[in-house]
Amino acid sequence: MNKPTLQHWLTAGCLGLMFGASSALAAPPEVVNISKIAGMPWFNRMGEGVTQAGKDFSVNAYQVGPSSTDAPQQVKIIEDLIAKKVAAISIVPNDADVLEPVFKKARDAGIVVLTNESPGQPSANWDVEIIDNEKFAADNVEEVAKSIGGKGGYVLYVGSLTVPQHNLWSDLFIKYQKAHYPDMHEVTNRMPVSESIDDSRRTTLDLMKAHPDLKAVIAFGSQGPIGAGRAVKEKRAKEKVHVFGMMIPSQAASLIKSGDITMGITYDPATAGYALTAVAAKLLKGETIGQDLDIQGLGKADVDSAHRVIRFHKVLRVTKDNIDSLY
């Protein structure tokens, strides 16, 4: 048997390098979605959409999240992902202002940055919304007004006073209410409790006691309706106080069926995860985002290139009539 020559070693080494390079080139780009908080049913569902889009668009897509809604925890996750040199980051921000410097750092590192529920984020490539904000606010007001006869007090729950989208929806809700239903009013300023069942339950109990004119609770944040619904159930007050909000149908089912939650006015968070990942994959492939953007399951988008917002409108009303078909 002939001994291997220097040429053999060089050839083998070159082939090894070629195969190694080929494998590296073949690795799919890494796309990471960051939820507001890990473990919450809403964001677990969102992660399912991220994973499915990763399969459909041939990217390595997954979701991570902080242990609390403390914005610096999201900053730390992004710092780690920058060091890891991922291709794209999408995120539902807990505080748009706190995150802005690290978004800029990610963009400077060549990472695609997408947001959900944070229109107007300066350093994001795009913000992706599953609903039209003004229409969504109007939908909420109209359903509440229908239930309470267009008169009486209400309270708005948000995740925190720094969550961009929740507070925008609240602002638009109040604007539409004042224009169309002047006999409705806020019993108190919006409450930052809708990411906690315990906080929203306790707050609802306190408000029902302090404000006899309270007729509706509207929660932007998926735990808010659950907590408020439990409070209404405890006080047997479903004929007096009507609860509306964003939710995971399976989590809210018993309270919807009992009438302690009047209606869910929401969207499927999986569609948000799917859309974010799909847009990231398209950008990484060099595709231009334009008015012809159409995403499976969501349809054609309204693309606002001037403000870098991609908007769909897929509102889901959750009621006694359809709850069993939704989970």
Residue-level pLDDT, tens digit, the chain, 327 residues: 455 454 554 444 554 545 454 445 568 999 999 999 999 999 999 999 999 999 999 999 999 999 999 999 999 999 999 999 999 999 999 999 999 999 999 999 999 999 999 999 999 999 999 999 999 999 999 999 999 999 999 999 999 999 888 999 999 999 999 999 999 999 999 999 999 999 999 999 999 999 999 999 999 999 999 999 999 999 999 999 999 999 999 999 999 999 999 999 999 999 999 999 999 999 999 999 999 999 988 999 999 999 999 999 889 999 999 999 987
Q: Are residues 120 and 147 in the same domain?
A: no
How many CB atoms are closer than 10 A to CB 260?
A: 25
User: Contact 177/142 with Cβ under 8 angstroms?
Assistant: no
276 within some domain: yes
Answer yes or no: do 161 and 51 share one domain: no
Check which CATH number belongs to the domain holding 151 and give it. Answer: 3.40.50.2300
Q: Is residue 103 part of a domain?
A: yes
| Domain membership flag for residue 320 | no
User: Which of 120, 39, 126, 59 lies closest to 90, judged by CA?
Assistant: 126
Is there a contact between 226 and 252 (Cβ–Cβ < 8 Å)?
yes
* Same domain for 203 and 155: yes
Among the three residues 249, 266, 283, which one is the final residue of a domain in this structure?
Answer: 266
Burial of 14 (0-12, 13-18, 19+ CB in 10 A): exposed
Q: How many domains would you assign to the chain?
A: 2
* Residue 215 placed within a domain: yes
Whether residue 45 is found in the same domain as residue 75: yes
Considering the domain architecture, whether residues 157 and 261 belong to the same structural domain is answered as yes
Let me know whether 153 and 244 are in one domain.
yes
State the Cα–Cα distance between residues 190 and 154, nearest whole angstrom: 10
Residues 162 and 90 occupy one common structural domain: no
What is the spatial distance between Cα 275 and Cα 283, in angstroms, rounded to a whole number? 12
Asked if residues 154 and 187 have their Cβ atoms less than 8 Å apart, the reply is yes
Structure tokens at 313: 């409108």
Distance CA 207, CA 286 (A): 52
Indicate whether 45 and 55 sit together in one domain. yes
Distance CA 19, CA 107 (A): 31
Give bridge partners of residue 93 from the DSSP assignment: none
- Asked if residue 1 is part of any domain, the answer here is no
Residue 22 is assigned to a structural domain of this protein: no
Q: Is residue 106 part of a domain?
A: yes
**Same domain as 186, residue 63:** no
Find the domain containing 103 and state its range.
27-131+269-313
Residue that terminates a domain, selected from 243, 266, 289: 266
pLDDT of residue 301: 95
Residue 17 lies in a domain: no
Residues 305 and 216 reside in one and the same domain = no
For 182, other C-beta atoms within 10 Å of its C-beta total 10
Residues 170 and 229 in one domain: yes
- In angstroms, the Cα distances linking 154 to 94, 121, 173, 310, 313 are 25, 30, 11, 31, 25
Q: Are 169 and 11 in contact (CB under 8 A)?
A: no
The pLDDT score that the predictor gives to residue 1 is 47
